[in-house]
Amino acid sequence: MTTNSLELASLLCSRLCHDLLSPVGALANGLELLEEEKDPEMRKRCFELLEQSARVSTDKLKFFRLAFGAAGGFGEMVPIAEPRALVDALVGNNQRVSVNWALSGDVLPKPAVKTLLNFALIGMDALVRGGTLDIGAELRDGASEIVVRAAGPRIAFDGAIGRALDGTLAEDELSSRTAPPTMLRLMAEGLGGGLQYALTDEALVLGAVLPLA
């Protein structure tokens, strides 16, 4: 499949808008309720909901800025605490998912960080009934190694995402859902690295080896 850069960028924007629609819509609804509500207790509840929606929106924007964007505020190496905080924030908004970390070192190259974040996003999407997200990353022998394992009941994984990761995605399957893994594959190929995944009824495992540029 040949991938048009403009089309891919447009679909990544569509994915971003899709994920932000719910918390931003909740903000708008909360403001409308606040305008009409006179009861002090209900107004207090409205403010709590507005605060929650604003926090979720901010967390997602920060996540996607680094997962999809150029993230110009960082150099070629990114402190590993940054992606960890972004994933922890997103998981913190989902009471049914817990995350475990196994990280080596203090920094990772930007492509490895993007891969980690997108793998974590795919893993979270797969845990529709809750579960555990295990994330590991290290620099070894001149390459970044990333692994994410999503384990839980009845894993939900779209086969098109797998085909995007392994490069067998059909042209008409490129969508806002498959654009992020397509981006990862193109980035990995550009570095001379590779992606892989394994799926069972209980777990989804995503792995990447990315040589240092």
The CA R_g of the chain, rounded to the nearest whole Å, is 18
Q: What is the pLDDT of residues 93-151, one digit of tens each?
A: 778 899 999 999 899 999 999 999 999 999 999 999 999 999 999 999 899 999 999 99
According to the model, what pLDDT value does residue 3 have?
61
Q: What is the pLDDT of residues 2-52, one digit of tens each?
A: 567 788 888 988 888 888 888 778 787 778 777 777 778 888 887 888 888
Label the pairing between strands 143-151 and 203-211: antiparallel
**pLDDT classification of 72: cutoffs 50, 70, 90:** low
According to the model, what pLDDT value does residue 57 have?
86
**Residue 144: left if φ>0, alpha if ψ -120 to 50, beta else—which one?**
beta
- What CATH number should be reported for the domain holding residue 182? 3.30.565.10
According to the model, what pLDDT value does residue 2 have?
53
Structural domain harbouring 94? 5-211
- With 0.85 as the threshold, say if the pTM is over it: yes
According to the model, what pLDDT value does residue 15 have?
86
Q: What is the pLDDT of residues 146-189, one digit of tens each?
A: 999 999 998 999 999 999 999 999 989 999 999 999 999 999 99
Domains in the chain, number: 1
According to the model, what pLDDT value does residue 149 have?
98
According to the model, what pLDDT value does residue 94 have?
77
According to the model, what pLDDT value does residue 71 have?
65
